[in-house]
Amino acid sequence: MEITTGTERLDFERCYIVVQSRDRRFDGVFYTAVRTTGIYCRPSCPARTPASRNVSFHRTAAAAQTAGYRACKRCLPDATPGSPDWDLAATVAGRAMRLIGDGVVDREGVGGLAARLGYTPRHLSRLLTTELGAGPLALARTQRAQTARVLVESTGLSLTDVAFAAGFSSVRQFNETMQEVYAATPSELRGRRGVRGGAAGAIELRVAVRTPFAGRALLRFLADRAVSGVEVADVRPDGTGWYARTLDLPHGPGAARVELADVDGVGSSYVAMVLMLDDLRDTSAAVARMRALLDADADPIAIDGHLGADPALAHLVARRPGLRVPGHVDGHELAVRAVLGQQVTVVAARTAAARLVAAHGRPISTQVEGLTHLFPTAEVVAAIDPADFRMPRARGRALVGLSSALAAGDLVLDRGPDRNDVRRDLVALPGIGPWTADYIALRALGHPDIWLPTDVGVRNALAGHGPVDPGRWAPWRSYALLHLWTSLSDPPPASPPDSLEE
């Protein structure tokens, strides 16, 4: 069943049918508010289904809170993946939600968020209220409350540390917000659930993802491209394992480590993550960026259903249900690595990036062996003489030109600007062609409908398939692309035994 998205109103009858069936696929897509209890829930809440006359539906938790509802203590509606519509439609509201999740409002205020999106604060507030039912301040407040609840219930941080890690300006504001949103004090929330211990300075969290989740394929992709000093991965014989990387965050450096394995089923599950931060105020930004890396908000049921209906992809989708498009934690880093990867193998691109990190990256100390550097900033790369790169001179100039545009703010890759504008600005730079621009859109901007017709891997994967029409795979061509790339590592199909002549 499809629920209307974008600027259209939620369809009441369809939403109510979802609630009656407790369909977990729609957790995070909308929220159910119950007038008689004053609470809001996820669609799959196990409580008795309320009468239709007593419910209303809201696109965001912030909208439900603005309408005066508290979060359900049974289904924890905020512990869900985000709406997949933010990446699919990439509307102003969707881009704003991504930036709010990264903590932009907490760091720069509503004016900073509006400037990034190209609107006045008043117009942006009006637009978000119309489309999402809440303005930017309310949305940011909900984000802080959600982060705080997770930290309260899953870490041993002091409640004062939790308050500032979640982005609150004072402990009093923290206490009042938690009481209003969850009808419980932070101490009461902590008392309900056991707190797990961890390494000193480490924050253990669970990242919500929709299932099925092809964690092993995601790990393999990241491990094959891991850059020494910045990334480390360990793949076990069964294909599960962990991935870790450094993070260049607004208030200081950090690192994150995630466990990755396949998760079956329909609904939502969790990926275990550990954060190691120099400044706790970067908690929300670190979580948001790692969620983007994991493509945590994707809707695998919708994607697999659409792509699996095509004979050219059906066997690939069946082999890896819930395949994700690996995102990235830093648009600048991904863009530089994309240029380094032009017309070379994955191994050669990884080696070139490792040389760049060793020569120009910022050394840091982490709790993960092998994580030793932050990736060089745009300013640092822009100052390098193109002749110093071990690559064709034209590509070196393209790398420096790209980094100069990023350093000057002429090009922004944080999911805030319109994707079409970003692509136009990219291809206008010398040495940045359509493949590079689209690869950046695929991973840095989270674009779900990228197709790379000239890519060698795509051509090899489609060899022998006969004519195909990639247009039929829209709006999920990015996922079709990953299925094709991933299939290149599959063993060839077994040949049928020769028939025996009698």
* Residue 1 confidence (pLDDT) above 60: no
Confidence band (pLDDT; 50, 70, 90) for 24? confident
Question: Residues 262-278: what's their mean pLDDT?
Answer: 92
* Residue 110 confidence (pLDDT) above 90: yes
Most confident residue range from 18-22, 60-64, 86-90, 238-242? 238-242
Question: Residues 161-183: what's their mean pLDDT?
Answer: 92
d(CA 475, CA 224): 27
Least confident of 3-17, 175-189, 402-416: 3-17
Residue 424 has a pLDDT of 95
d(CA 417, CA 303): 25
d(CA 132, CA 111): 19
CATH of the domain at 90: 3.40.10.10
Identify whether 234 is part of a domain.
no
**Last residue of a domain, which of 83, 108, 136?**
136
- Are the beta carbons of 293 and 218 closer than 8 angstroms? no
Catalytic residue of the set 15, 41, 45, 75: 41
Note down the domain range covering 446.
331-487
Confidence band (pLDDT; 50, 70, 90) for 37? very high
d(CA 275, CA 260): 15
Residue 3 has a pLDDT of 46
* Residue 294 confidence (pLDDT) above 90: yes
- Are the beta carbons of 361 and 302 closer than 8 angstroms? no
Identify whether 415 is part of a domain.
yes
Burial letters 192-231, b for 16+ CB under 10 A, else e: eeeeeebeeebbbbebbbbbbbbbbbbbbbbbebbbbbbb
How many domains in the chain? 2
Q: How distant is the alpha carbon of residue 430 from its chain centre?
A: 29
What is the Cα gyration radius of the chain?
23
Question: For residues 245 and 92, which has the higher predicted lDDT (pLDDT)?
Answer: 245
Identify whether 389 is part of a domain.
yes
Residue 5 has a pLDDT of 41
Mean pLDDT of the chain: 90
**Last residue of a domain, which of 116, 136, 156?**
136
Least confident of 40-54, 337-351, 454-468: 454-468
Catalytic residue of the set 161, 278, 279, 455: 455
Confidence band (pLDDT; 50, 70, 90) for 89? low
Alpha-carbon torsion (48, 52, 53, 55), positive or negative: positive
CATH of the domain at 479: 1.10.340.30
Question: Residues 271-276: what's their mean pLDDT?
Answer: 96
Identify whether 202 is part of a domain.
no
d(CA 447, CA 426): 15
Active site (annotated) includes residue 498:
no
**Last residue of a domain, which of 108, 136, 164?**
136
* Residue 288 confidence (pLDDT) above 60: yes
DSSP state of 498: P
Whole-model pTM: value is 0.88
* Residue 9 confidence (pLDDT) above 70: no
Confidence band (pLDDT; 50, 70, 90) for 259? very high
- Are the beta carbons of 76 and 93 closer than 8 angstroms? no
DSSP state of 226: P
Q: Which helix (H) or strand (E) holds 17?
A: helix 12-21
Could you tell me the two tokens for 476? 């999920």
Residues found in the chain: 502
Confidence band (pLDDT; 50, 70, 90) for 287? very high
Identify whether 409 is part of a domain.
yes
Confidence band (pLDDT; 50, 70, 90) for 88? low
Identify whether 160 is part of a domain.
no
Question: Residues 236-261: what's their mean pLDDT?
Answer: 97
Confidence band (pLDDT; 50, 70, 90) for 327? very high
* Residue 485 confidence (pLDDT) above 90: yes
Residue 159 has a pLDDT of 93
User: What DSSP line would sit under 407-471, residue for residue?
Assistant: HHTSS--SS-S-HHHHHHHHHTSTT--HHHHHHHHHHTS--S----TT-HHHHHHHTTS----GG
Identify whether 159 is part of a domain.
no
* Residue 501 confidence (pLDDT) above 60: no
Residue 199 has a pLDDT of 52
Residue 58 has a pLDDT of 93
Identify whether 411 is part of a domain.
yes
Active site (annotated) includes residue 282:
no
* Residue 299 confidence (pLDDT) above 50: yes
